[in-house]
Structure formats: structure tokens, C-alpha cells
Amino acid sequence: MKRTKDYLAYNALTRYKDNDGHYHFEADKEAISAYLEEEIKPNRMVFENLEAKLAYLLQHDYYEAELLDLYDARFVHQLFEKAHEDVEPFQTFMGALKFYNSYALKTDDHRYYLEDFQDRAVMNALFLAGGQESLALSILEHLLKGRFQPATPTFLNAGKKRRGEFVSCYLLRVEDNMESISRAISTSLQLSKRGGGVALALTNLREFGVPIKNIQNQATGIIPVMKLLEDSFSYANQLGQRQGAGAVYLHAHHPEVLTFLDSKRENADEKIRIKSLSLGLVIPDITFELAKANADMALFSPYDIERVYGKPMSDISISKEYESLVANPAIKKTYIKARQLFQLIAELQFESGYPYILFEDTVNERNPHHKQGRIIMSNLCTEIAQFSTPSRYNEDLSFAEIGQDVCCNLASINIAKAMADGKQFENLITTSIEALDRVSRSTDLDSAPSIQKGNRANHALGLGAMNLHGFLATNAIYYDSKEAIDFTNCFFYSMAYYAFKASMQLAKKVGAFATFSQSDYADGSYFAKYTEASVTPETKRVSQLLKDCEFTLPTKEDWQALVRDIQQYGLANSHLLAIAPTGSISYLTSCTPSLQPVVSPVEVRKEAKLGRVYVPAYQLSQDNYDYYKDGAFELGPEPIINIVSTAQKHIDQAISLTLFMNEDASTRDLNRAYIQAFRQKCASIYYVRVRQEVLAGSEHYAEDQQVEECESCMI
């Protein structure tokens, strides 16, 4: 009989109590040591010294010589040596497992490990610093201290000779012609091959049955296009590491919206069923207003809208034009009950977790680039909110006019680690923005000209944050408290200030993004909420906490001075902040994901070949257990929405908001959550997770609904 590995036995102990009622949380530390000794040490390639290791990695095309050549060889050696000085990168067994399974460089035959965490951190520091030694040192320190973590594509690929791209996600418009559809499919293949997730907007595609070249009943609608995309993502499996990841977004007032949603039902007809493609729905304010009035909602023909308005459906505001569209006899329309749509959405989310939701008017009202274009979609994790513009094509699929599409350059800071030394906060945010800017200027996107154009014009970034619940719990603050909301407001207010300041300083060196002068940044209107009033703590607990951490809040005078500088020098980046789910990197860095609460103090994960792995919450102990005890399912949607809507005030893009529902929740409960998120000006909703009771040995425990996720976007 095969003996259970020691590290799995130690890890399993973390969820059991002894006779005195104490949990064995410390057993997870033993699991780390046992795992490194049993699995990693025997399979690590050993070198005589650092010189021999680097020579081997360069000679065999593992590391990129051009990157190392940016630096003096002595500095590179010093950086590696510094990284290995008394560093214990893994705080949980899951962190070690995640690194060696997903991130560590291995020999081509996958038999031996060539890197430890410290080595990967050094290669990231060297890449992200772009030859600047002082910046490389700063990035490395923040990485090793756990304050800053690049997105998975960046952390995985930095410094490698044979690699994918550094970008997490891409967003593509699809226009209502065969050339655009063909280019969208081929571009999706190219981008998926390079390791990123791709989202596509299908709103402008004509519906089933409308004319083609004035011949009636010819259009086959959106489902065949979705099928082609799904097959494309399945084919582009990124060197066998995982299938390509794709999402499609559709406007709620598109005539095929019900078929679109039905395609995700488990019992859907195979002719329309979509298995692996993610679905997203773009919902304007008018849809909620019609549902509130229990009225019919009109679905408008995108074919007719483009013919009458001279622009695609996605480029007009359905809320503003609704009555005119209804009254116009030249635009075909069908009707459904608005409440029927929300009922269907809720049913489908309970069944599959989909669709994602983007609140169209909310994101466009905040859009500082509204003169350039509308926000018509999001990405695979709903944290990206950027405008796009259409492309035009010749019959041979070459570009007649290149529009602007979107890519996501992502990283996250660890809130708990950032607050451990508040005096370092400005340096942390500045360093993080400079590092992400390097990603935006280093990525080769020639395979997707419209995305390349958008990236070069905007250098848009998405710096996010994680470990909010970890910070709150280890500082004796309950997640569903007014102190938690107070802290969230103060923290992201400060993060926004230093992010804009860092981008302004970058603009002095590299210039402003292309259309800065036409943005709401240039006239200062975007910053009115900051220049007219300062944010200060509203609770004594948070006030004392900020003081203890030496964390200084900017004042309105600070903002006023910064806005003057921004108006003078510009900003290097059109977008700066976006909070992704951080699923992968939160495990890697042993912290709580994004802004959401933990599922339980000790989470249960299913890992291939190992079975169940137990993941203790950030610095879990007997002392702070009560602050983790009520997890996401016990808390329910309301406090999560309160936290996210508070942070959203300071985030210029969006935040991945996951709703957690108990097994006894109803579609009415889920609809209430939609309405709360909408009213509190959240930008989007990511997944809905439903808890299911599972029997394990002699105990019952909760496992949330397992949904296939895009690791690129989960960063």
C-alpha cells in the first residue's frame, strides 16, 4: 500500500482540533519543509556555483542573454546573492506547491527544477527595471518582502528566452462583417498561443434571420461565431499547458440575448450549447429601470441601428437613445419582460456561474476618455474598463483602418505587507507603476495590430491589490464592519494619489499618452472629487491604525498640487488601477484573494494528482480565528458589495466582484445582490459562486462551486 506523503499528512492536520480545542495551524509550516525536502530537493538541478548556473541557463536557451546584458555582470551576481540571503518565500504549503507546479523554470524534459522563487524574483526585477540598477533593487525588495507581485504571464515569462507574452488579457471588438469576424478569430488564435486570455464584443453582429446584401433571412446570428471562437481557443492550448481562454460579451438589448444565455445551460441543444467559452452581459441603466417598473424591454436590431444611426450598436448609449429607438419604425424591435431577463440571468448563474455582468452606464459615466470612445466590454475577469474604437478591413483581411483595442498589463500589491511599513507606501506604488509601465513598453503585439496600436497610444496599466481580509483579520477588524469600509476608503484613496503621481513623474521622462489633452485628466475635471475635499478616517480604530503604521493620507492640497503638475506634464498612462481576482498569485504569496473574504479559515482546494489541499488563511492563528470564521458564504453578498463599491470610488477601471451564495439562496436573493451592486455603482460582477455541502470522512464542510477560470486573468 502506497504511503501518504509526509507533506500531505502535515497539511491535512491544519483543519483538525486537538483535545483542547486548538487547531494545528502550525502543521502547515511542517508541510512546507517536508515538501521541499521530499519533492523539490531531490529534483533540483545542482550547480557548482552561480556562474555555472547562469552559463548553463544561457547556453541552453532558458534565459535571455539580451536582458542580462543590460546590466553589469557584477550587479547581476549581487542581485542573485541578495535574493538568497535568509529568505523564506513560502508562508503556506499551497504557496510552495503553486510556485513549483506553475512558475518555476524546469528542464525541457520536466525532470529537474532550475529555479527557486528567489531566482524567478531576480529575473522579474531585472526585466521590470529595464536596465536601471536602483529600480531593480527596489523591485526585488518589494517582491521578496511580498509587497508587490506581477501578474502570472509577467512573473512566469520574465527573462526567459522561450516564452509567451507578459500580458494577462486582451479585448477585441468584432464588427458586423465577415472580414472583422475572420480577423477576430485569427487574432484570438495568435494571442492565445502567446498565453493570454481574449475577450470579444459581439454586440454589433447582426441577429439571426436579418438580410445579407438585401436578401432576406440570410444571417445565421451570433451562435456560429461563438462556436468558431470556442473551437479556436480549444485548439490554441499554449504548448499543452492549458487550453486557451476566451470570453464573449453581448449587450442585454441585442435580439439574441436569450439564445446567448441559453447556450450555457447544461441541457441546451448541442446546436447552440457553449461549453468552454465564458459569457459576459453588458447591462445599461435602462434595463434596471424597466425591470423596476415590471415593463417590457425592447431588443433592437444592430443591423438596423448601424444602417439608421451610421454607427455600431455598441457605440451608442442605449439608455439615452432608448425612447428614440422604440419610436423609430425603421429599427426592428422585439420585446421581452425585463424581469424575465434578470430571472434567466440568476438561474444561469446558479447553474454555471455565468454570465459576467458589466454595468454599461456606470463605467461610461466614469470614463475619462469619453471623447475617444465608449467602454463596450470587459475582459475575462471583469476588472478592465477601457474604451475601444473599430477597425476597417479590406477584402484580403488587411487593415483599411486600424482601430484601437485593449490589453491588460496587471500586477497587485499586498495590502497587509504594504501597511507593515507605511513609510514605504509611496515608494511601493511608484515602483509598481514603473514596473508595469515597462511591461506595456516591452510587449510584442505585432500579431494583433489593433491591440498594438491601443497599447502604444495608451500604455494602460492595471495595478491592483489583494489580502484585504488578511490585513483586517490580523488587525482585529471584522470584514463586515464600518471600520473595514473606513480603512478601504482611506487605503485606495491614497493608492490612487500615488499612482497618478507616479504616472505624472513618468510622463516627465517619456511623455504623456497620445490623447492626454483630450481626456478629463487634462482639464482636471476627473480629479474634482479629490481637490474639493480630503478623505480622513471616520473611525477611531482606523485613525489609530494608520498612525501606528505611519501611513500618511494625502490632503486636498496635495491633490491640488498634483493636478497642477498633471496638467503641466501629463500622464504616461491612460489607465492605472484595476483589481483582478488574484486567484493564482494570492496562493503563491500566501494571502487572501483580491478584496473578497476567505471562503473559510482553512480553504479546501482540489489539486490534480494530490487530491484535497488545505490552505490556511493569511497568518491564521488561534488569536485571529474569529475574524476569519465567517467566510464569504456566511457573510453573503452585502458586505462584499459594500467593500468593493467603496474601493471603486478610487479605481479608474473596475474590480472583479464575486458574489457568494449559500445553497438555500433563491434567484430573488441574487437579483437583490445585482440591484445593490448596481445602485452602489460597482462597475461589474464576475462569478457567482454557490456553496455545496460535501461529506469528507466524518465531517461536513463547504466547498464552493468549481468553475473553470482563466489563470491569465486571475493573475
Residues that are catalytic: 379, 381, 383
Q: For 43-93, give the DSSP string.
A: GBPP-SSHHHHHHHHHHTTSB-HHHHTTS-HHHHHHHHHHHTSS----SSH
Cell (9 digits) for 4: 501518504
Q: For 195-244, give the DSSP string.
A: T-EEEEE-TTSPPTT--BTTBTT----SHHHHHHHHHHHHH--TTTTS--
* Bridge partners for 691 per DSSP: 704
**Residue 381 has what DSSP assignment?**
T
**What angle, rounded to 10 degrees, do the helices at 425-442 and 133-144 form?**
110
121: nearest Cα among 101, 106, 136: 136
Could you tell me the CA-to-CA distances from 190 to 102, 445, 456 in Å, in that order?
22, 10, 19
Nearest-Å Rg of the Cα atoms of the chain is 25
**What angle, rounded to 10 degrees, do the helices at 556-569 and 482-510 form?**
30
Work out the number of other CB atoms within 10 angstroms of the CB of residue 682.
Answer: 25
State how far the Cα of 194 lies from the Cα of 244, in Å rounded to an integer: 9
443: nearest Cα among 410, 409, 412: 409
Cell (9 digits) for 512: 504623456
Q: What are phi and psi of 607, to 5 degrees?
A: -115, 135
Coil, helix or strand for 597? coil
Give me the residue label for grid cell 504594504: 418
Q: What is the maximal distance between C-alpha atoms in the chain?
A: 80
Cβ atoms 288, 324 nearer than 8 A: no
Cβ atoms 356, 654 nearer than 8 A: no
Cell (9 digits) for 673: 445582490
Could you tell me the CA-to-CA distances from 619 to 417, 422, 464, 565, 612 in Å, in that order?
12, 19, 21, 41, 21
**What angle, rounded to 10 degrees, do the helices at 482-510 and 425-442 form?**
50
Plot region of 432 (φ>0 → left; ψ -120 to 50 → alpha; else → beta) = alpha
Chain center to CA of 225: 25
State how far the Cα of 358 lies from the Cα of 339, in Å rounded to an integer: 18
Cell (9 digits) for 309: 444611426
State how far the Cα of 215 lies from the Cα of 380, in Å rounded to an integer: 36
Cell (9 digits) for 432: 509598481
Q: What are phi and psi of 471, to 5 degrees?
A: -65, -45
